[in-house]
Amino acid sequence: MTDPAAAESLLAPLIWGGFVAAFLHAALPTHWLPFVLVGRAQGWRARMTIGAAALAGVVHVISTAVVGGLIVAAGLALEERLAGVLPWLAAAMMFGFGAYYLVRSFRARAAAARDEPGRAVSDRAAFLGLMALLALSPGEVLLPLYLSGAQHGLHGLVLLTLAFAAGTILGMVILTGAAHAGASLLRLERLARFEGAILGAAMIILGLLVAFGPL
């Protein structure tokens, strides 16, 4: 029988490890760069961009907790199946965003040549797209920690999820805010005419990293 005191002493390092792992995981470009790029393309203020990142962080943690709970219930085999499918869905979302902004850029340039206004994606569509992007890509690097936390029961899993939430949201907010501030300070007016193409290419590259890289 496991000593409750010993089990409790092992829970604290697991919680702190979960926080650190989540914070480092949030430092991956896929967790903050899309918000900066889309926010700049949509003309969002810093508060809107950072708020979207924070809410997406909550959605990201919820999807991770749901998948983690399924893994605890069904075993490691389920993790392997989901790990092969969900990154491709997230990559498809990025490809879709990238293709849209590339097409939008070409159409905007053609419309400018005819003195016609270009059409932009609605803020609602951009916002929901970012939410779906993180919902479809739970933190796979965090999932094995749920197997470790299962030995502490529901109490341990809840605390581990809260640690994931704190690390993920903090990391995404800090990095999104810092990148947004840097972008606003640079004021790349000279690149404004190519902004849609740059955004589309960046999103497609991120999608390739998700599909074939370590992200």
Per-residue pLDDT at 161: 92
pLDDT tens for the chain, residues 1 to 215: 445 554 566 678 878 888 988 898 888 888 888 899 898 888 899 999 999 999 999 999 999 999 888 777 765 454 456 555 555 655 676 677 677 767 776 766 555 555 544 445 688 888 988 998 888 878 776 777 777 777 777 888 899 899 999 999 999 999 999 888 876 655 544 555 565 666 667 667 766 765 665 54
pTM of the complete model = 0.69
Candidates 199, 197, 198, 204; CA nearest to 92 is: 204
CA 181 to each of CA 131, 171, 186: distance values in angstroms, whole numbers, following the listed order: 22, 15, 9
Per-residue pLDDT at 103: 78
Domain ranges of the chain: 4-94+122-188
